[in-house]
Amino acid sequence: MKEIISDFLDLVKVRNGHEPEFLQAVEEVAETVIPYIVKHDIYYGKNVLLRMVEPERLVSFRVSWVDDSGEIQVNRGYRIQMNSAIGPYKGGLRFHPTVNASILKFLAFEQVFKNSLTTLPMGGGKGGSDFDPKGKSDNEIMRFCHAFMSELFRHIGPNTDIPAGDIGVGQREIGFLFGMYRKLKNEFTGVLTGKGLTWGGSLIRPEATGYGTVYFAENMLRTQDDNFEGKTVVISGSGNVAQYAAEKSLQLGAKVVTLSDSSGYIYDSEGIDLEKLKFVMQLKNEKRGRISEYIKEYPNSKFVKGETPWGVVCDIALPCATQNELNGDDATKLLSNGCICVSEGANMPSTKDAIKKFHDAKILFAPGKASNAGGVATSGLEMTQNSLRYKWTREEVDQKLKEIMEEIHQSCIEYGKDDDGYIDYVKGANIAGFVKVADAMLAQGIV
Ligand code: NDP
Ligand code: 2IT
């Protein structure tokens, strides 16, 4: 088996050797899915996984725009249309200086499995730009988004490819992107998700990824007759996903003690309660400030510069910032501090080493493609409401989100339960995600 997997990975490396994040994501899937393929004749010998690692289409384009000082800026834009066997391409747009083809291909690849797990008919894609929104004025953001969409619009559509937000792309950016799409196409359609409530957005979409990550953790804890009540939670990030993961943790009776950004983390031993969280939301979403400013408002807390929060004692860890933010040493610290549950809000935040340590210690560990799928699932619900020209209540959407997270959890158990009863959520999510897409690809022939 090892040889079959390494032969496959060698093939993938020949074409993608210079793309470490993409190879990391493919390796994790190959190690769990290939043993399943080998045992099932319907998939064996059909090169299904080899087809799945090749994007159906990769669009790369120039984005030129003019900054506030009149200087002409040039960025690179991308859209990776990875797999549309079970539905139109669906996935976020990331604006961050580190964006490149490797990062977007890993995200698009993960998205295919994640979207399949949601139970909704969505293929996988991802896009973005190496544009850095930090320090840019609202007008610069608008001009950049308009320039970006003036090319992207010809590659997307409500039945083709439906982008959404990700790092650096929130409701403000979705608004500017939607405005330009609507103008160019002379069409008001559900071509983007994460829209504002008065122009086609869904209630609960802003909350969905963070809430879903916590709902998934709740499902995992329930397998051990446990819950969030009284637990200490460590969260990384302070953006969209982190904020609502914190809010839901608090609503379930837990104590949240950290948040972070790329400059460092804040630790509040008294707990970041709902009022303090409101301050963080205003600081990050309206003032676009830094998390270190928290300690000015709450002097009993501390800011630890340049570090991640994984050394802080906790029961539950929710990595909600970015890829590879939690390594093997961090996992060791979490385990020795008694952490029993890790639910990934970000995409691929734990390195391969870290995951191995969590698995060896047999704690509850959920990979992002299962635990953060609530965001895209609620995007799917936004698309449904747009098609129906209808609007569900907050309670209706939240209930559907909860049900979807439960179903994803169930699928992970179905495909991931080991002989000793331990649930390997990585294996479960990868195989469950694979089966649905592979079946659709086989049914549709070699296209
Ligand atoms: P935001 O832009 O709202 O927030 C990102 C947060 O992560 C910020 O606090 C940011 O800090 C921090 N961060 C970003 N890059 C780094 C880095 N290199 N090192 C340390 N911290 C960093 O993004 P989201 O909250 O939307 O996304 C967070 C994660 O969740 C990503 O992995 C994303 O792919 C994933 N995700 C998002 C979904 C969504 O619906 N939004 C759905 C599913 C997954 P700083 O301000 O300093 O950059
Ligand atoms: O990684 C993700 O799932 C997202 N950024 C959300 C994608 C979406 O289409 O809502």
What's the pLDDT band for 350 if we cut at 50, 70, 90? very high
Which ligand 1 atom is the nearest neighbour of the CA of 243?
25
- Could you tell me the distance, in angstroms and rounded to a whole number, from the CA of residue 240 to the centre of ligand 1? 7
Best residue among 24, 240, 404 to mutate for probing ligand 1, ranked by most atoms within 8 Å of CB: 240
In the block, tokens 């994803």 appear at 408
For 371, list phi and psi in degrees, rounded to 5.
Answer: -80, -25
Please report which ligand is nearest the Cα atom of 345: 1
Q: Looking at ligand 1, which residue's alpha carbon is closest to its atom 35?
A: 346
Please give the average per-residue pLDDT across 214-238, as a whole number.
98
Please give the average per-residue pLDDT across 290-301, as a whole number.
98
357 has catalytic annotation: no
What Cα–Cα distance (Å) separates residue 132 from each residue in 33, 128, 167, 343, 387? 36, 11, 10, 28, 33
- pLDDT by residue (tens digit) across 155-165? 999 999 999 99
Q: Looking at ligand 1, which residue's alpha carbon is closest to its atom 48?
A: 262
Show me where the domains of the chain are located. 2-52, 57-187, 208-362
The pLDDT, as a whole number, for residue 289 is 96
Please give the average per-residue pLDDT across 340-360, as a whole number.
98
E-strand stretches of 15-121: 57-66, 72-83, 89-95
pTM over 0.85: yes
Stretch (H or E) spanning 258: strand 255-261
CATH second-level architecture of 208-362? Answer: 3-Layer(aba) Sandwich (3.40)
8-state DSSP, 286: I
Please give the average per-residue pLDDT across 122-126, as a whole number.
98
CB distance 132 to 95 below 8 Å: yes
In terms of Cβ atoms closer than 10 Å to its own Cβ (0-12, 13-18, 19+), residue 115 is: buried
The pLDDT, as a whole number, for residue 294 is 98
The pLDDT, as a whole number, for residue 237 is 98
The pLDDT, as a whole number, for residue 231 is 98
Q: Looking at ligand 1, which residue's alpha carbon is closest to its atom 17?
A: 262
- pLDDT by residue (tens digit) across 232-241? 999 999 999 9
Q: How many residues does the chain have?
A: 447
Which ligand 2 atom is the nearest neighbour of the CA of 91?
9
The pLDDT, as a whole number, for residue 261 is 98
In the block, tokens 């064996």 appear at 44
What would the CATH number be for the domain defined by 57-187? 3.40.50.10860
Across all residues in the chain, what is the average pLDDT?
Answer: 98
- pLDDT by residue (tens digit) across 102-122? 999 999 999 999 999 999 999
CB distance 238 to 279 below 8 Å: no
Long-range pairs for 198-204: beta carbons < 8 A, 24 or more residues apart: 199/175, 200/382, 200/386, 201/171, 201/382, 202/378, 202/379, 202/381, 202/382, 202/385, 202/391, 202/392, 202/397, 203/391, 203/392, 203/393, 203/394, 203/397, 204/378, 204/394, 204/397, 204/398, 204/401
In the block, tokens 């991640």 appear at 308
Q: Is the CB of 427 under 6 A from ligand 2?
A: no
The pLDDT, as a whole number, for residue 400 is 98
The pLDDT, as a whole number, for residue 238 is 98
Find all residues with CB under 8 Å of 110, minimum gap 6, and list them: 25, 124, 347, 348, 368, 369
Please give the average per-residue pLDDT across 420-436, as a whole number.
98
The pLDDT, as a whole number, for residue 119 is 96
- pLDDT by residue (tens digit) across 310-337? 999 999 999 999 999 999 999 999 999 9
Find all residues with CB under 8 Å of 434, minimum gap 6, and list them: 29, 33, 36, 49, 52, 113, 116
The pLDDT, as a whole number, for residue 296 is 98
The pLDDT, as a whole number, for residue 22 is 98
The domains spanning 57-187 and 208-362 adopt the same CATH topology: yes
Written as one letter, the residue type at 78 is Y
Q: Looking at ligand 1, which residue's alpha carbon is closest to its atom 36?
A: 346
104/276 Cα distance (integer angstroms): 34
- Could you tell me the distance, in angstroms and rounded to a whole number, from the CA of residue 285 to the centre of ligand 1? 13
Above pLDDT 70, what percent of the chain?
100
Please report which ligand is nearest the Cα atom of 163: 2
Please give the average per-residue pLDDT across 353-381, as a whole number.
98
The pLDDT, as a whole number, for residue 41 is 96
Please give the average per-residue pLDDT across 53-60, as a whole number.
98
Please give the average per-residue pLDDT across 84-89, as a whole number.
98
Please give the average per-residue pLDDT across 223-248, as a whole number.
98
